[in-house]
Amino acid sequence: AMYFGGVRLPDVSDGGTREGMAWRYSDAWELGWRALYEGEVDAERAALLGRGAMSMCGASTVLVVYGIARWVHQGDAWGSLVPCVLASCCPTMLAHTAVITSDAFFTLVVLLST
């Protein structure tokens, strides 16, 4: 999502520079700050696109939970709605789909792999 928002990582070809060291030691704070605020990127647009992508992952996760529950309950709609409502009201799901991390995407991928 950040790629489509126009976020480009800083040039890290020189390992002796501060940017190169941040890349080498996975300093996410430094890399994120440089990518969003020191470049020519619109930080608000990038954050909006990233949060939108995470919200879509959360909604897709709830749909996958509904599909799995529907398969487990052999098509019973009411038995499938309970896990769907529980997943959509889960505080962890709500918290992780509001921030731009890999947690929501990882949850979706793990559910799709079952």
Q: What is the pTM of this model?
A: 0.65
For tokens 């190169």, name the residue: 20
CB 80 within 8 A of CB 73: yes
Alpha helices in the chain (DSSP H): 18-24, 28-37, 43-72, 77-88, 91-96, 103-112
Digits of tens for pLDDT over the chain (114 positions)?
556 656 555 555 555 566 566 656 666 777 677 777 777 677 788 788 888 889 999 999 999 999 889 888 887 878 888 998 999 898 988 888 888 888 888 888 998 887
Q: Rounding to the nearest 10 degrees, give the CA dihedral for residues 84, 87, 88, 92.
A: 180
Start-to-end Cα distance in the chain:
25
